[in-house]
Amino acid sequence: MSRRFAPALLVVSCGTSTSNPVDASALDASAILDSSDAGTVDTSPLKAETKADLVFRTVGTNAIKGDLYLPDRTTPVPLVVVIHGGGFSSGDKAGNSEIAWAQYLQSTGFAAFSVNYRLYSDFGNGEVPFPAAPMDIKCAISWIRKKASTYRIDANHIFVLGGSVGGFMTNFLGTTGDDAAFNPTDCADGATESNRLQAVVTYFGPSDWNAMFNDPQRLGTENAEKRFLGLANGATPCVPNSSDAKGICTTASATTYVDAKDPPFFISHSDDDPVVPVTQGRAMKAALEAANVSVTYKEVTGLKHGWHGNFKDATAVGVRDDVMAWLNAHK
């Protein structure tokens, strides 16, 4: 797969690039489904249920888990992998935003798999969370695809949604699906199924670390990100033309990997976000459009950060409803 950089207009409403969009629902179905999914389909009614703490990867003594929210179903249902934020240092699959989204998806006929990944506190001296943490989630995607027939999930319609660090993860997962450089081989139950996604929803997530670290709005606030990327404490990260700018800051940026094979994206960001500047959302949008990837971009006004699961806020609910309409169009 060829990889290239994409460039970094204030857009205030939803817009979709439709120039040669990729039909993600038709992406290599034979590579996604294995022979175990063939045969007679059971259509007996199954009631909504939640299965907690399913292990999809074990690293040493660390069992990495997810909570699976299943709706009422007769035929296989699409699934959304929900990824928490928390600055790489905190957060959990059972956070307020994650539960709000997972339960809402479940109530509307989608399955949701709210997953954990390793935080930098889970790593010892000299160990770097990148790319290990996003590869944890790739195992979640591969594992749930392997278990699709068990839980009556549509393995050809697996989506992802996250905000903040979860938004970084969704950006990165969406642009590196089945990339050989980021393909785990130790997922639970021997899962080797595809980790490609059919659609991506990202809220206020970093997409370009070089631009992020050099944004005047963020200078002096990047310690957590530096630890995640393995950069030295006290150092100024991603200085233009430095070794880390050409190295890890590029390697860990989702914009580095954008190409025409990527699935459709829905991106939402606020123009008043003090943690992840709105320029990150705009840069991801521009990179996808330049590669002729279908992208819907919703920029809101006045919200700060972490609002995607606040379903008491009218603006957040409006974006949620847009997201749901968009997901339904892609299932």
**pLDDT tens digit sequence for 277-305:** 999 999 999 999 999 999 999 999 999 99
102's tokens = 């997972």
Number of domains in the chain: 1
The predicted-structure confidence for 258-283, as pLDDT tens digits, reads as follows 999 999 999 999 999 999 999 999 99
Residue 25 DSSP one-character state? G
Q: By the 8 A CB rule, do 163 and 170 touch?
A: no
CATH number where 141 lies: 3.40.50.1820
- Decide if 13 is inside a domain: no
Residue 322 has pLDDT above 80, yes or no: yes
- pTM of the predicted model, to two decimals? 0.88
| Contact yes or no for 212/276 (Cβ under 8 A) | yes
Asked if the structure places residue 68 within a domain, the reply is yes
Query: Is residue 300 assigned to a domain?
Result: yes
Is residue 35, in this structure, part of any structural domain at all? no
According to DSSP, the β-strands at 15-16 and 199-203 are: unpaired
Q: Which domain covers residue 277, as residue numbers?
A: 47-208+253-330
Query: 228 in a domain, yes or no?
Result: no
Is the residue at 162 inside a domain? yes
43-87 pLDDT per residue, tens: 899 999 999 999 999 999 999 999 999 999 999 999 999 999 999
Distance CA 236, CA 127 (A): 20
The answer to whether 179 and 1 are in contact (CB under 8 A) is: yes
List beta partners, residue 295: 265
Spatial contact of 197 and 134, defined as CB atoms under 8 Å apart: no
Average pLDDT, the chain: 88
In this prediction, residue 5 carries a pLDDT of 34
Cα dihedral 104/106/112/116 (nearest 10): 60
Residue 139 has pLDDT above 70, yes or no: yes
pLDDT of residue 15: 38
